[in-house]
Amino acid sequence: MPGIEKLPIEETLEDSPQTRSLLGVFEEDTAAISNYCTQLYQAMQRIYDAQNELSAATHLTSRLLKEYDKQRFPLGGDDEVMSSTLQQFAKVIDELSSCHAVLSTQLADAMMFPITQFKERDLKEILTLKEVFQISSDDHDTAINRYSRLSKKRDNDKLRAEVVEDVYTSRKKQHQTMMHYFCSLNTLQYKKKTALLEPLLGYMQAQISFFKLGSENLTQQWEDFLGTIGTSVQNVRREMEEEVGQMQQTIQQMERSCDPLYAPCDPDPAYSSVCRSLTRKQGYLHIRNKTGLVSSSWERQYFFTQGGNLMHQGRGEVAGGLVTDLDNCSVMAVDCDDRRFCFQVTSFDGKKVVTLQAESRKDCEEWIATINNISKRIYLSENAELAGRVSFVRHLSPSGSSKGRSGRASSISSVGSEPSPALSVLSLDALVAPETPIQFDIISPVSEENLGQNKTAAQSGRRSNPFGESGDGTSEDNSILHQLFIVRFLGSMEVRTAESVDVISETMRQILAARAIHNIFRMTESHLLVTCDCLKLIDPQTQVTRLRFPLSSVVQCSSHQDNRRLFGFVLHPAGGRGDSRAVCYIFESNNDGEKICDSIGLAKQIAFHSEMDRKAVEKRKEEDKAKEKQQEELSKQRQIEKDLEEQSRLIAASSRPANPPAPDGQFLVLSNSQSEDSDAGEEGKKQGESEA
C-alpha cells in the first residue's frame, strides 16, 4: 500500500546506527498508535457500558476521529484518503449520537471485538518482542566484548572456541529476534488501519440494522460508503498478507545466507577475498582511548569514511563526529599487547595517532587499503589519471602544498572546507602567484612629513593630532556610521585579480599555510573602525591609526566558509581600478566575520547614497543658478524694451509743432526748462535710434 514506510530486514545483520535510529522512529510511532488506540478503545467502551451516555460517548469518538489529522505520528501519518474517511465517520457519528442508542450485543460483537483484539494481542506482542530484542542485543554486546578481550599471549583453544560459540549464538539470536521484531513493526502499519476501520464499520452496520434507517437516500448513500470502506479493508488485509509472506521469505533467505557471517573469525578466503580498491568503508571498530599516563580503554563504535575524513557515530546519535583527517595520512598494522587485528592511523603532521581494532584480519586489511586510497586522494575523482595529476601538481607547486596544509595547521578548516574538485589546482595560480611575498605584520604609516607637521604644530602652539592624521577629517567625525571591532591581523599579499569570488579564500589558505610552515603564531591586535568614509586600524594602546583604507578602494569583502571568525577584503591601489594590481588583507575577529562584512557593505551603501545626494544637491544648485541667470537676462530685456518705449514716446512728443496756437488764437511761449526737455528728448531719440 503506498505511503507506508518499512523497516529494512536486509540490514538487520549489520545493525548500523542508521537502522537503530529508524527503529526508534517506528517504536515512537508504535507508542503513539498505542496511546491513540487506548483513547479510542475507552471511548467505545463507554458506548458499550452506558447506553444512557450514548450521546456523550459517541461525541467523544467523533472528536477523536476529527483529531486524527492532528496526531503527530513520527512516520508522518497516512494518506489523505484515510484522513477523509475518518472525517466522514466522525461526521455521521456526531449526527447519530444525539438521537440513537446502540444495542450492547451488536456493539460487543461488531465494535468492541476488533479493537480489543488489536489492543490486547497485537500491541502486547510488539511490547514482548521489544523486550526480547533488547535482551538479545545486550547479550550480543556482552559476547562481543568478551571476544574482543581474548588475550593474545595466553591463547587457550578451549576458551576461544567457547567465546566464538557464544558470539555465534548471541549474534544469531539477535539477528533472528530483530528480523521478527521488524516484521511485526511493519505489519503493525497495516493492522492499525484495520483496527481503526473495522470497529467503525461494525458500529455503523449495527446502527443501520437496529434503526433500519428512516430515509432511503441516507440509507443508500451510507451503504455505498460502507461498502467502499469494506472493500478497502479487504484490500489492506490482502496486501498485508502478501507483505507478511514476502518478509517471511526474506527472513528465511537471510537466515540461510547469513549463517556463516555470525562467527567473527575470518571466512574462507576462497569465497571472500580482500578488496584493496575501496575508497569508502563503514563498520564497527574498537578505538583505544587513553585514561591515564599508561592505562587505556577500548570502546566499540561505528566508523565510516566521508570524503577525506574518518568519522564515528554512536548508537542513538543522529550524525557522526570527526575522528581525524585522512588526507596525506599514514596507516599501518600494529601489534598490540592485548588486542588482535589492530591498525594505526597517523595524521600528516604526526600530531594525532588513532589506534583501531577490527573484528577479523580481512576487515583489518580492507580498512588499511581504504585509508591508503583516501590518503592518496583517489576519492576525488573516478578517473585515476586525473587524480594522479592533481596529486603530482600538489607536490610540485608550493602554493598547492601550502593550500593542502592550511586547513589542518591553523585548525580553522572543518569538514568540507577543502576546495571543490571543479576548481583545479592550476587555476588557483590565476588568483595568487605562487611566489608572492606575504606581509605578516602591520607597518605603521608614520612618515617624516607627519613628524614635521607635528613639530610645526607644537612650535606654533596648536594642538597636534594624536592619531597621526591631518586636520581636515571633519567628514569622518560627522559620519553616520561608527562601528568598532576587535581584530587580529594575519597577513596581506598582492593578488592578480580583485573581481574573483575565490581570491579571498585562496589568500586565506596561502597565508595560513605560510604561518604554519614558518611557525608564525604572533598576531597584531587592532581596533577596526568602520565609517562611511574609510576603514581604520587603530592601536588599542596608543590610539594611533596604523592603517587607513579609503572606502572607495574596497572592492569586496567576505568571511571564511567554515570558520566565521576569519574575514578579508581586497583593496585597489591608489592608481585606480585601471591598475590590475590589488592587495588582499586577512584578519581574525572575536565576532562573526559576516557581521563585519555586513557593516562594511552598509558603510559603502551609505557612502553611495550620500554621494548621490551630494550630486543631486549640486545639480539643483546649478539649475537654480541657471534660472537666476535666465531671470536676470529677462529683466534686462524688459528694461531695454521699457527704455525703448519711453524713448519712442519722447520722440513722438518732440515731433509735434514747436508753438501750437492757443484756443484763443494766440501762441504759447515755451519756458527755458521746456526747451531743454525738448532738446534732451531729441538727443534721446537719436541715441535710441543708434542703439536700435
Contact predicate 210/102, CB 8 Å: yes
Contact predicate 286/300, CB 8 Å: yes
Q: For residue 530, report the phi and psi dihedrals to the nearest 5 degrees.
A: -105, 120
CB-count exposure of residue 655 (10 Å: 0-12, 13-18, 19+):
exposed
Distance of CA 158 to the CA centre of its chain: 56
pLDDT in tens, 289-333: 888 777 788 899 999 998 788 998 888 777 778 888 888 888 999
CB-based contacts of 218: which residues, under 8 Å, 6+ apart? Answer: none
Three-state DSSP at 333 gives strand
pLDDT in tens, 567-618: 999 988 665 545 567 889 999 887 788 888 988 888 888 888 888 888 888 8
The answer as to CATH 3.20.20.105 being correct for domain 9-71+78-217 is no
pLDDT surpasses 50 at 473:
no
Contact predicate 507/586, CB 8 Å: yes
Pairing of strands 296-306, 309-313: antiparallel
Distance of CA 655 to the CA centre of its chain: 100
Instruction: List 344's β-bridge partners, or say none.
Output: 332, 355
Q: Which residue intervals of the chain bear CATH 1.20.1270.60? A: 9-71+78-217
CA dihedral 116, 122, 128, 133 (to 10 degrees): -160
**Closest residue by Cα to residue 586 from 508, 497, 664:** 508
Spatial separation of the C-alpha atoms in residues 180 and 361, rounded to whole Å: 32
Q: Which residue intervals of the chain bear CATH 2.30.29.30? A: 282-383, 482-609
DSSP string, 191-232: HHHHHHHHHHHHHHHHHHHHH--S-HHHHHHHHHHHHHHHHH
Higher pLDDT, 432 or 356: 356
CA angle 96/98/101 to nearest 5° reads 70
Higher pLDDT, 653 or 557: 557
The answer as to CATH 2.30.29.30 being correct for domain 482-609 is yes
- Residue 658, pLDDT score: 52
pLDDT in tens, 106-157: 778 888 888 888 888 888 888 999 899 999 999 988 988 988 888 777 777 8
Determine the length of the chain.
692
User: What class, spelled out in words, does domain 282-383 have in CATH?
Assistant: mainly beta
> Which letter does DSSP use for residue 686 in this model?
H
Spatial separation of the C-alpha atoms in residues 349 and 519, rounded to whole Å: 13
CA angle 203/209/212 to nearest 5° reads 125
pLDDT surpasses 70 at 660:
no
> Which letter does DSSP use for residue 397 in this model?
-
Q: Both ends of the chain: CA-CA distance in Å?
A: 107
